[in-house]
């Protein structure tokens, strides 16, 4: 009992000290809290996101900061675990006393902290894909990445244009794949499209010819693959191996040079939706996103490895934040939240953002470019 009392007292004293010290600091810096999946299965998201945040916060600070204050980034690695995300968001708000939050990397971690964000009344911009984050809209919660629904819409619009009505769907067993599959199934009727096959595979599988043989037996006019990582490249190769000559659509999950490299000649003719950042070099000079996309790509690749659209989301979230703080001319959470919601015509790496009270993402599906693989290179389809 005695020991417990001592522990309790010292803990209280420590808390009080931390509280005091953080309060004395509060005036000097803008504190951005962040919880990203830098390690673990979703590290392909969190890793470039954190690098981007650090790189641009350094740049902003070198130029004198925002409102005359330096930005301080306080980051915790969730490893993709929603449980840890909840723990970290409490620490960020209560102990670190951040002014706003950018994160998390995955829809799971974002949704886990969403109720707390509303309770703490602190603005948060999520870097995760799911449409559920902003639908229905929650007062303090925003997001910047495109949704899987937008990807499905972009693909179906193009299919409709080309006159395809019968589609074979094949998708992986990951969260991204499953969500994409669900959105595709839900949206298809709207575009008069019938899903004639709905196959799945494990993301670590090495061969999908069995599923594709089944698809070959249907009267599908085109194949849509919602997937991420190496599996879509294997699907692409397997389709060619089986001599199936149907046009192939992929999702934005494979919009990277790696996909082209892995699938080689088999990828020719494949179409997919992708953010402008992926084709920064191929964008027309008068493209409204050209400047920002090539700038981000150049800066990121000068310091790290190949650019991905995920890091670009962190860039957009940071810039929207900075702009909102400048417009609010204060760090008052309510004022900053209101200004984020008023984000208008912000040209970002992911597209043009126009947020409003009912739209806390602000992107339209035209912010996706439709790409076609031509001789191992991306080409924008108009």
- Window contacting another protein (CB under 8 A); options: 93-101, 141-149, 154-162, 262-270: 262-270
Residue with smaller CB distance to another protein, 306 or 356? 306
Site membership for another protein, residue 60 (CB under 8 A): no
Q: Which residues does residue 29 pair with via DSSP β-bridges, in sequence order?
A: 70
Residue with smaller CB distance to another protein, 95 or 204? 204
DSSP one-letter string for 37-99: --SSTTHHHHHHHHHHHHHHHHHHHHTT-BTTBEEEEEEEE-TT-HHHHHHHHHIIIIIS--S
Site membership for another protein, residue 200 (CB under 8 A): yes
Residue with smaller CB distance to another protein, 115 or 264? 264
Q: Which residues does residue 99 pair with via DSSP β-bridges, in sequence order?
A: none
Min separation Cβ 106 and another protein, Å: 16
**Identified binder of another protein from the candidate list 234, 272, 274, 370, rule CB under 8 A:** 234
DSSP one-letter string for 303-365: HSSS--HHHHHHHHHHHHHHHHHHHHTS--HHHHHHHHHT--SEE-SS-EE--BTTBSS---G
For Cα atoms 86, 92, 93, give the angle at the middle one, nearest 5 degrees. 95
Residue with smaller CB distance to another protein, 189 or 202? 202
Site membership for another protein, residue 217 (CB under 8 A): yes
Residue with smaller CB distance to another protein, 201 or 346? 201
- Window contacting another protein (CB under 8 A); options: 55-63, 138-146, 154-162, 256-264: 256-264
- What is the C-alpha to C-alpha distance for residues 192 and 165, in angstroms, rounded to an integer? 6
Using CB under 8 A as the binding criterion, the count of chain residues that bind another protein stands at: 33
Min separation Cβ 273 and another protein, Å: 21
Residue with smaller CB distance to another protein, 154 or 237? 237
Min separation Cβ 200 and another protein, Å: 5
Asked if residues 343 and 249 have their Cβ atoms less than 8 Å apart, the reply is no
- Window contacting another protein (CB under 8 A); options: 10-18, 42-50, 104-112, 276-284: 42-50
3-state secondary structure 153-220: HHHHHHHHHCCCCEEEEEECCCHHHHHHHHHHHHHHHHHCCEEEEEEECCCCCCCCHHHHHHHHCCCC
Site membership for another protein, residue 102 (CB under 8 A): no
Residue with smaller CB distance to another protein, 54 or 218? 218
- What is the C-alpha to C-alpha distance for residues 52 and 34, in angstroms, rounded to an integer? 12
CA 238, 240, 246, 248 dihedral sign is positive
Site membership for another protein, residue 242 (CB under 8 A): yes
Binding flags for another protein, 167-186, as an x/- string (CB under 8 A): ------x-------------
CB 266: neighbour CB atoms within 10 A? 19
- What is the C-alpha to C-alpha distance for residues 257 and 290, in angstroms, rounded to an integer? 19
**Identified binder of another protein from the candidate list 21, 23, 213, 291, rule CB under 8 A:** 213
Min separation Cβ 258 and another protein, Å: 6
Q: Which residues bind another protein (CB under 8 A)?
A: 43-44, 47, 173, 199-202, 204, 206-207, 209-211, 213-214, 217, 229-230, 233-234, 237, 240-243, 258, 261-262, 264-266, 305
């Amino acid at each position: 009992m005695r020991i417990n009392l001592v522990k309790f007292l010292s803990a209280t004293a420590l808390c009080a000290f931390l509280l005091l010290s953080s309060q004395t600091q509060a005036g000097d810096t803008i504190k951005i809290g962040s919880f990203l999946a830098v390690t673990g299965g979703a590290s392909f998201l969190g890793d470039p996101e954190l690098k981007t945040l650090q790189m641009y916060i350094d740049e902003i600070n070198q130029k004198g900061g925002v409102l005359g204050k330096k930005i301080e980034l306080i980051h915790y690695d969730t490893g993709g675990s929603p449980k840890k995300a909840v723990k970290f968001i409490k620490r960020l708000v209560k102990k670190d006393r951040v002014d706003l939050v950018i994160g998390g990397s995955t829809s799971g971690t974002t949704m886990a902290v969403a109720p707390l964000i509303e309770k703490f009344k602190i603005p948060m911009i999520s870097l995760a894909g799911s449409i559920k984050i902003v639908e229905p809209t929650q007062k303090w919660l925003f997001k910047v990445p495109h949704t899987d629904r937008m990807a499905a819409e972009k693909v179906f619009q193009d299919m409709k244009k080309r006159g395809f009505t019968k589609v074979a769907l094949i998708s992986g067993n990951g969260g991204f794949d499953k969500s994409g599959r669900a959105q595709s199934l839900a949206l298809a009727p709207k575009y008069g499209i019938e899903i004639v096959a709905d196959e799945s595979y494990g993301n670590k599988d090495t061969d999908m010819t069995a599923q594709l043989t089944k698809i070959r037996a249907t009267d599908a006019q085109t194949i849509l693959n919602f997937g991420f990582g190496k599996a879509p490249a294997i699907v692409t190769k397997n389709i060619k191996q089986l001599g199936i000559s149907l046009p192939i659509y992929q999702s934005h999950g494979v919009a990277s040079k790696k996909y082209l490299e892995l699938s080689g000649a088999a990828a020719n003719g494949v179409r997919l939706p992708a953010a402008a950042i992926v084709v920064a070099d191929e964008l027309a000079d008068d493209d409204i996103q050209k400047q920002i996309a090539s700038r981000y790509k150049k800066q990121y690749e000068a310091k790290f490895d190949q650019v991905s659209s995920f890091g670009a989301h962190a860039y957009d979230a940071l810039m929207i934040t900075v702009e909102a703080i400048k417009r609010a001319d204060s760090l008052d959470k309510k004022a900053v939240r209101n200004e984020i919601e008023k984000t208008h015509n912000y040209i970002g790496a992911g597209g043009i953002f126009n947020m409003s009270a009912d739209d806390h993402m602000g992107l339209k599906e035209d912010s996706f470019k439709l790409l076609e693989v031509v001789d191992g290179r991306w080409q924008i389809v108009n």
